[in-house]
Structure 1
Amino acid sequence: MKTTKAVSLADELVRQLERQIDSGELPPGSRFPTEKAITDSAGVSRTVVREAFARLAARGLLESRRGSGAYVPAAARYRAFQVTPEEMQEVEDVIKLLEIRMALETEMAALAAERRTEADIATLRECLDRMAEGGDVEASVDADAAFHAAIARATQNDYYSRFMDFLGIRLVPRRAVYLRDQSDVAHRSYAKAIQRDHEGIFTAIEAGDPVAARRAARRHMQKSLERHRRMKDEAEAGPLD
């Protein structure tokens, strides 16, 4: 899976406009340059500009006013750091998120093991049972996200739950990214591997063992990282002659 030129150009334009917003060059309330002005100055097509504007709007950094143009919202300076669904379309983006989650999830699991309540254990078990049903892929992914959110709540530290929301961690990387063009057998095998990892984390948290919980969470995240890095390497290598 290779990144198209248009996507790459849109990425760069988004970064450029974000830097201008963060630096104050484009302060809250200011008007963005017109599409034509950007196409002329950046040397990109209107399609690229519109894609960049759509991404900025999704991040709360651009608002359109009918008949007037695009503006930087007043709340842009107070924006919370988050990862949007639009940013989780490529393997490279998923890898970046997983690298952040590596540190977050390991300590979160350890704290959950120390502080979890019986209600937390029941919620985690319910999430695992829903994942094990394995009937509907999206339902299973939703249960996966709920499992990680439940671990955050089990820390009894509200900042973990809030940071998870800001980071977009509830958007557990969609299996459609890793399993694109894969068979049903691959889907089932992947689901079973994830289920085993989650069972290991749950067992450690239920036992109140922070060392084992930290180790199980790290192992889970490391395996996920390795899978996606292999996929990225294979995509970059291209087909064999």
Structure 2
Amino acid sequence: MARAVSLADELYDKLKAEIISGTIAPGTRLPSQKSIATTQEVSRTVVREAVARLEAQGFARSRQGSGVFVTEGARYRAFQVTREELSELGEIVRLLEMRLAIETEMAGLAAARRDQADVDAMRAAMRQMAEVCEDPAAYASADAQFHMAIAQATKNPYFARFIDFLGIRLVPPRNLYLRDQPGEAHDHYVAKVRAEHEAILAAIVRMDITGARDAARHHMTESLSRHSELGAAMTTG
């Protein structure tokens, strides 16, 4: 079974690469599963799984009685951050590196453009984090709401769309970072992250653009450092 999954991954990656490169053009009907199985020397089951993944990711669409076609604009769907990827610590670190740059500028724009409703939304998210601090998953969800409120305060819908796309993947649950650490470690983590969030919020409330950028950069740098250190410990442990 493991080999079949591997072959499906390989075929999916190959077909996706051809779609993104334009080798298989938008609107093109994919060859039949039988034809793909023959040319790629794999089973129909492998083809079925690979094509299903293309459809799930928006690269292809099935038309009743006509076959499977490459979607218009499919080549622009290349950027994906999946839940499966974020089960690996290394991928979380890479995402945090990207977020450091994005969230720094996002906080600066939020400080320049925020209104009272935006501030209220950030404060509500902070209260929610405090109420669910014992539940890592619920805390991560509330944390994501805080960052969404900042994105919306930029008044640039692309920031909000990007944060919405990341969703819960935006905030790695602390039980990944802390793993089997005692309750005191979790309490320290919550207090530290809260202080980082409060610094961002305070700067945005003051409409301090430089301060908001600095606070957001510090928050993301600290998160990146925490998970990078964990990765190093797991490698040498």
Q: 1:179 is paired with a residue of what secondary structure? A: helix
Alpha-carbon distance in structure 2 between the residues aligned to 1:51 and 1:93 = 24
Deviation at 1:14, TM superposition (A): 4.5
CA contact (8 A) 2:200 2:212 kept: yes
Moved more, 106-115 or 8-17: 8-17
CA contact (8 A) 1:32 1:71 kept: no
Alpha-carbon distance in structure 2 between the residues aligned to 1:207 and 1:75 = 42
Deviation at 1:12, TM superposition (A): 5.7
What is residue 114 of structure 1 aligned with on the other side?
112
Distance 1:118 1:54, change over 3 A: same
Moved more, 82-91 or 197-206: 82-91
Q: 2:23 is paired with a residue of what secondary structure? A: coil
Which structure's CA Rg is the greater one? 2
Alpha-carbon distance in structure 2 between the residues aligned to 1:129 and 1:51 = 44
Give matches, 1:215-226, under 5 Å: 215-226=214-225
Q: 2:85 aligns with which of 66, 87, 96?
A: 87
Deviation at 1:72, TM superposition (A): 3.2
Distance 1:210 1:59, change over 3 A: same
Instruction: Give me the CA root mean square deviation.
Output: 3.6
CA contact (8 A) 1:130 1:143 kept: yes
Distance 1:100 1:5, change over 3 A: farther
Moved more, 70-79 or 222-231: 70-79
The letter for the 1-side match of 2:110 is: A
Alpha-carbon distance in structure 2 between the residues aligned to 1:61 and 1:101 = 25
Deviation at 1:100, TM superposition (A): 1.5
Aligned residues: 233
Distance 1:200 1:66, change over 3 A: same
Q: 2:59 aligns with which of 41, 51, 61?
A: 61
What is residue 31 of structure 1 aligned with on the other side?
30
What is residue 97 of structure 2 aligned with on the other side?
99
CA contact (8 A) 2:60 2:68 kept: yes
CA contact (8 A) 1:107 1:214 kept: yes
Distance 1:234 1:34, change over 3 A: farther
Alpha-carbon distance in structure 1 between the residues aligned to 2:35 and 2:81 = 29
Alpha-carbon distance in structure 2 between the residues aligned to 1:206 and 1:140 = 23
* TM-score using structure 2 length: 0.77
Q: 1:88 is paired with a residue of what secondary structure? A: helix
Distance 1:196 1:176, change over 3 A: closer
Give matches, 1:114-153, under 5 Å: 114-133=112-131, 134-153=133-152
Structure 2, gaps ≥5 residues long: none
* TM-score using structure 1 length: 0.76
Deviation at 1:210, TM superposition (A): 1.1
CA contact (8 A) 1:13 1:52 kept: yes
What is residue 180 of structure 2 aligned with on the other side?
182
Alpha-carbon distance in structure 2 between the residues aligned to 1:234 and 1:13 = 35
Distance 1:154 1:110, change over 3 A: same
CA contact (8 A) 1:109 1:151 kept: yes
Alpha-carbon distance in structure 2 between the residues aligned to 1:7 and 1:94 = 23
Distance 1:39 1:120, change over 3 A: farther
The letter for the 2-side match of 1:201 is: I
Give matches, 1:140-219, under 5 Å: 140-166=139-165, 168=166, 171-175=169-173, 178-179=176-177, 181-183=179-181, 185=183, 186-219=185-218
Alpha-carbon distance in structure 1 between the residues aligned to 2:187 and 2:31 = 47
